[in-house]
């Protein structure tokens, strides 16, 4: 059983911010701990939730000599880091990520924040956690759909920086689609190595550019379109996972890269085939949209992209691939982005 106390200074008070689902799945893990429980959905990543959490902390007389520990997926770690950073001008915090996506992406790099309307993570700050504790066995209870949401983020970093690991990951996830089988089988070590490599790549990029003025922008590959799609579909009551939205966004950028920066057509076709082979969406029909819904989503997407935090003036910074492992960030005029959306 995990010992949460090892993550903090012995003099500090420990308070846990826990995903309600994780709390129900592992009740013995939280016995005797001071816990705040949240519904970990994108719709709850807002000022109202932050205000409720701050009210609870004040009612518990939590002072600055406190360590706030987020236990859950990306929504939980985002909220934990944000609340800890603004409560009493900043208290210590750390994470125990319980989803694959949080392990390889959301918990790393210090981005903490909330959504604002249809703008994802529009309000926030960058502040690194003091500790991150990784336990892959949490993935045993993760739904397969959510597991592959994390797989999308793994594939992203490998497409950006490690084509050999991309090949290993694709081979593994095609053969072993169930996380429980993966954790209990002979491929567990390969899987652990892939997770650690993905973490190392992201930490290296973040270490070069903490505040996203240069190399860190590469990590937005697929996210500009993906974030817009994710929140629009939630508003429409359709929904998809973060990883599904990002996977769809990456595929559109791969297709655009052929025309815009000379990615080989054969490479683009192979990547699209790879994503489809592990059940990640590559086209509108994979998202289950009928024609009226599709038209509404496309219309909203142009508006949402105009408010994206990566916008500068009349352009967006977007990540394309010249080759696998060779990404490039281009400043794309909004008029050209709208043309791309029209062709989708």
Q: What is the CATH number of the domain that holds 113?
A: 3.40.50.1970
268 and 172 part of one domain = yes
Beta bridge partners of 95: 70, 132
154 and 300 part of one domain = yes
- Mean pLDDT for the stretch of residues 278-303: 90
CATH of the domain at 303: 1.20.1090.10
Could you tell me where the DSSP H helices lie in the chain? 20-25, 47-59, 74-86, 100-101, 144-161, 163-175, 179-184, 188-208, 223-235, 242-261, 265-277, 291-306, 334-343
**pTM, two decimal places:** 0.94
Q: How far apart are CA 159 and CA 323, in angstroms?
A: 9
pLDDT, tens digit, 9 for 90 and up, residues 84-98: 999 999 999 999 999
Q: How far apart are CA 283 and CA 292, in angstroms?
A: 16
Judged against a pLDDT cut of 80, whether residue 177 lies above it is answered with: no
Range of the domain at 120: 4-141
Cα within 13 Å of Cα(283), Cβ side? 6
Quote the distance between the C-alpha of residue 226 and its chain's center. 10
242 and 151 part of one domain = yes
User: Are the beta carbons of 233 and 240 closer than 8 angstroms?
Assistant: yes
180 and 54 part of one domain = no
pLDDT of amino acid 179? 86
Q: How confident is the model at residue 104 (pLDDT cuts 50, 70, 90)?
A: very high
User: Are the beta carbons of 316 and 249 closer than 8 angstroms?
Assistant: no
82 and 194 part of one domain = no
**What is the SS3 assignment for 184?**
helix
**What is the SS3 assignment for 320?**
strand
Number of domains in the chain: 2
Pairing mode, strands 92-97 and 311-312: unpaired
**What is the SS3 assignment for 69?**
strand
94 and 24 part of one domain = yes
Q: How far apart are CA 85 and CA 286, in angstroms?
A: 39
CA-closest candidate to residue 36, choices 75, 69, 81, 78: 69
Q: How far apart are CA 172 and CA 183, in angstroms?
A: 12
pLDDT, tens digit, 9 for 90 and up, residues 117-172: 888 899 999 999 999 999 999 999 999 999 999 999 999 999 999 999 999 999 99
Judged against a pLDDT cut of 80, whether residue 294 lies above it is answered with: yes
pLDDT of amino acid 15? 98
Judged against a pLDDT cut of 90, whether residue 220 lies above it is answered with: yes
User: Are the beta carbons of 149 and 234 closer than 8 angstroms?
Assistant: no
């Amino acid at each position: 059983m995990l010992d949460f106390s090892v993550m903090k200074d012995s003099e500090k008070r420990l308070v846990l911010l826990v995903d309600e689902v994780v709390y129900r799945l592992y009740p013995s893990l939280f016995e005797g701990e001071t816990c705040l429980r949240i519904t970990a959905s994108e719709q709850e990543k807002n000022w109202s939730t932050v205000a409720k959490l701050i009210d609870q902390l004040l009612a518990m007389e939590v002072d600055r000599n406190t360590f706030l520990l987020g236990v859950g997926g990306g929504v939980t770690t985002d909220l934990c880091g944000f609340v800890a950073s603004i409560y009493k001008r900043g208290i210590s915090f750390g994470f125990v990520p319980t989803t694959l996506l949080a392990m390889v992406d959301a918990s790393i790099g210090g981005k903490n924040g909330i959504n604002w309307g249809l703008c994802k993570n529009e309000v926030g700050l960058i502040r690194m956690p003091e500790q991150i504790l990784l336990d892959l066995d949490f993935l045993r209870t993760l739904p397969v759909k959510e597991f592959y949401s994390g797989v999308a983020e793994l594939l992203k970093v490998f497409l950006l920086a490690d084509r050999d690991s991309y090949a290993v990951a694709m081979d593994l996830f095609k053969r072993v689609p169930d996380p429980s089988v993966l954790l209990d089988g002979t491929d567990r070590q390969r899987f652990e190595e892939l997770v650690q490599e993905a973490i190392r790549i992201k930490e290296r990029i973040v270490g070069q550019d903490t505040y996203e003025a240069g190399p860190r922008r590469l990590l937005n590959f697929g996210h500009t379109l993906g974030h817009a799609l994710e929140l629009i579909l939630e508003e429409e009551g359709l929904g998809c996972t973060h990883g599904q939205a990002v996977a769809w966004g990456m595929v559109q950028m791969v297709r655009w890269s052929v025309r815009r920066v000379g990615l080989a057509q054969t490479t683009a076709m192979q990547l699209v085939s790879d994503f489809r082979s592990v059940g990640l969406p590559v086209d509108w029909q994979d998202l289950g949209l009928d024609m009226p819904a599709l038209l509404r989503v496309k219309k909203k997407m142009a508006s949402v992209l105009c408010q994206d935090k990566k916008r500068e003036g009349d352009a967006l910074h977007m990540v394309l691939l010249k080759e696998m492992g060779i990404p490039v960030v281009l400043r794309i005029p909004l008029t050209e982005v709208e043309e791309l959306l029209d062709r989708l």
